[in-house]
């Protein structure tokens, strides 16, 4: 199949408004993504939108390449770089081409599969690109259990308020598709292989929300945060669950890498899985594949080194003492440091981390089957629901079917609708 490609040079495509509310005041600190904190870091996380404002989120993954959600494709004209992009604020870089994954497909209940989109920038992004996770996800304790880091410019609740300020939060995922997730997903929907799923089983009230579509999920390992997924869909109130499209090795090989190579042909500094040290200069890592080699105090800032924070990045880092996925050992107390303390290949000072003592680590030596939530059953099957109806704002939102009661659904959340995170 041929990918859906739209060249934007000289075009007159209209801005797709998306399902977001009015822009908030720039000093808004309200909860979210949902129950997150304002994100002054993760500079490679950008707004994705039209001529004057963003309607989705994306991640710079190479000098001229941004990864976003497939359902965000259509009317993308610019990316917006900054912590607050309300009213089109921030650094604006033009998009000259937008490409949807050729196998993108709408699913019932506001879900989608192969929900990936690539943006070709008209100029180099003035930020370090995020490194891609060049391995394959599986339902093992390596991925099911540790918190992932989610960032985006989306709303702070299902009402749509709060869009335009970048926020970050952390929470674990529950299963990698394919799976039948029963009471934890709109029955009889099955989770396809392309997605991973998260569910608020601990009433953490953390989630992605409308406008976070295309935003990153980062997996932290060996001190580095790796882009492993993009925000796709979830319940309409942003209060219960969500699904991300995977962006790990199978999807890099299938879709992402060919377009990076096309947009940046012959550039040794592009994201290609090979570190070229000549790209790293002026105290900054220019090749995202080199990030893991520069997490120590070596005079080279690697912004993807977050567990702990690269000491060479201290001059540009800010507000890291909260739960934002970045472990800053200079903080009197940082929950990220406590959570990331363990034998996984990098030293977190001051928490009794065995890696600091030089003990051998085997981060990948995990049993094949984790202790997963009982409602989650890996399966390759699939079943559909009735087509969703238009909710009046350009995004379809079908009624969420009733499902058997579960202990955490004490507020009747089983009747909520699903919605794309755009």
3-state secondary structure the chain: CCCEEEECCCCCCCCCCCCCCCCCCCCCCCCCCCCCEECCCCCCEEEEECCCCEEEEEEEEECCEEEECHHHCCCCCEEEECCECHHHCCEEEEEEEEEECCCCEEECCCEEECCCEEEEECCCCCCCCCCECCCCCCCCCCCCCCEEEEEECCCCCCCCCCCCECEEEEEECCEECCEECHHHCCCCCCECCCEEEEECCCCCCCCCCCCCCCCEEEEEECCEEEEEEEEEEEECCCCCEEEEEECCHHHHHHHHHHHHHHHCCCCCCCCCCCCCHHHCECCECCCHHHHHHHCCCCCCECCCEECCECHHHCCCCCCCCCCCCCCCCCCCCCHHHHHCCCCCCCCCCCCCCHHHHCCCCCCCCCCCCCCCCCCCEECCCCCCCCCCCECCCCCECCCCCCCCCCCCCCCCHHHCCEEECC
In angstroms, the CA 327 to CA 321 distance is: 8
The residue assigned the tokens 């822009």 is 23
| pLDDT value at residue 88 | 79
346: tokens are: 């990098």
Separation between Cα atoms, residue 174 and residue 177, nearest integer Å: 10
The label of the residue with tokens 């991640």 reads 59
The closest alpha carbon to 309, from 289, 39, 172, 318, belongs to 318
Spatial separation of the C-alpha atoms in residues 212 and 365, rounded to whole Å: 33
Measured CA to CA, the distance from residue 337 to residue 347 in angstroms comes to 10
Q: Which residue has the tokens 């995922």?
A: 173
C-alpha distances in angstroms, 256 versus 60, 62, 117? Answer: 12, 11, 9
CA distance to 284, 298, 299, 301, 342, per residue, from 295 (Å): 12, 8, 10, 8, 17
Measured distance CA(192)–CA(179) in Å, rounded = 7
Of 226, 232, 157, 149, nearest in space to 191 by CA: 232
Give mean pLDDT in consecutive 10-residue pieces for the chain, a chain of 422 residues.
56 29 30 68 95 95 98 96 88 97 89 95 98 97 95 75 85 90 54 90 77 95 97 86 95 98 97 98 97 96 96 85 90 91 84 75 36 38 29 28 26 43 64
Q: What is the pLDDT of residue 421?
A: 61
422/233 Cα distance (integer angstroms): 8
How many Å apart are CA 90 and CA 46, to the nearest integer? 10
Long-range contacts of 23-29 (CB under 8 A, 24+ apart): 23/53, 23/86, 23/87, 23/163, 23/164, 24/86, 24/161, 24/162, 24/163, 24/164, 24/165, 26/84, 26/86, 26/89, 26/165, 28/156, 28/162, 28/165
Beta partners for residue 245, in sequence order: 195, 230
Length reported for the chain: 422
């Amino acid at each position: 199949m041929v990918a859906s490609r739209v060249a934007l040079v000289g075009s007159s495509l209209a801005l797709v408004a998306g399902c977001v509310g009015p822009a908030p005041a720039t000093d808004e600190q309200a909860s979210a993504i949902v129950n997150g904190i304002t994100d002054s870091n993760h500079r490679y996380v950008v707004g994705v939108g039209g001529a004057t404002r963003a309607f989705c989120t994306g991640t710079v993954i190479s000098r001229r390449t941004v990864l976003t959600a497939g359902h965000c494709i259509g009317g993308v004209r610019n990316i917006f770089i900054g912590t607050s992009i309300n009213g089109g604020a921030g650094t604006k870089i033009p998009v000259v081409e937008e490409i949807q994954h050729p196998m993108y497909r709408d699913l019932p209940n506001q879900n989608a599969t192969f929900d990936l989109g690539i943006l070709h920038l008209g100029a180099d992004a003035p930020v370090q690109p995020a490194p891609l996770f060049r391995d394959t996800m599986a339902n093992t304790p390596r991925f099911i259990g540790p918190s992932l880091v989610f960032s985006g410019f989306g709303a702070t609740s299902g009402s749509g308020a709060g869009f335009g300020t970048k926020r970050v939060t952390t929470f674990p995922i529950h299963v990698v598709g394919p799976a039948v997730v029963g009471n934890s997903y709109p029955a009889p929907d099955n989770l396809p292989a392309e997605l991973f799923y998260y569910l608020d089983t601990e009433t953490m009230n953390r989630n992605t929300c409308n406008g976070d579509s295309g935003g990153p999920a980062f997996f932290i390992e060996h001190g580095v945060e790796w882009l492993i997924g993009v925000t796709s869909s979830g319940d309409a109130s942003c209060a219960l669950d969500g699904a991300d499209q995977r962006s790990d090795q199978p999807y890099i090989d299938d879709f992402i890498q060919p377009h990076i190579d096309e947009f940046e042909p012959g550039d040794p500094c592009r994201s290609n899985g090979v570190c070229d040290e000549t790209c790293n200069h002026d105290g900054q890592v220019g090749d995202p594949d080199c990030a893991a080699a520069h997490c120590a105090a070596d005079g080279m800032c690697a912004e993807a080194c977050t567990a702990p924070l690269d000491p060479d990045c201290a001059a540009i880092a800010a507000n890291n003492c909260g739960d934002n996925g970045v472990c800053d050992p200079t903080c009197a107390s940082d929950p990220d440091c406590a959570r990331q303390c363990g034998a996984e290949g990098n030293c977190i000072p001051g928490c009794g981390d065995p890696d600091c003592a030089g003990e051998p680590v085997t981060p990948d030596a995990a049993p094949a089957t984790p202790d997963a939530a009982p409602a989650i059953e890996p399966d390759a099957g699939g079943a559909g629901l009735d087509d969703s109806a238009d909710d009046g704002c350009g995004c379809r939102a079908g009624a969420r079917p009733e499902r058997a009661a579960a202990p955490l659904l004490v507020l009747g959340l089983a009747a909520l609708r699903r919605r794309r995170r755009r």
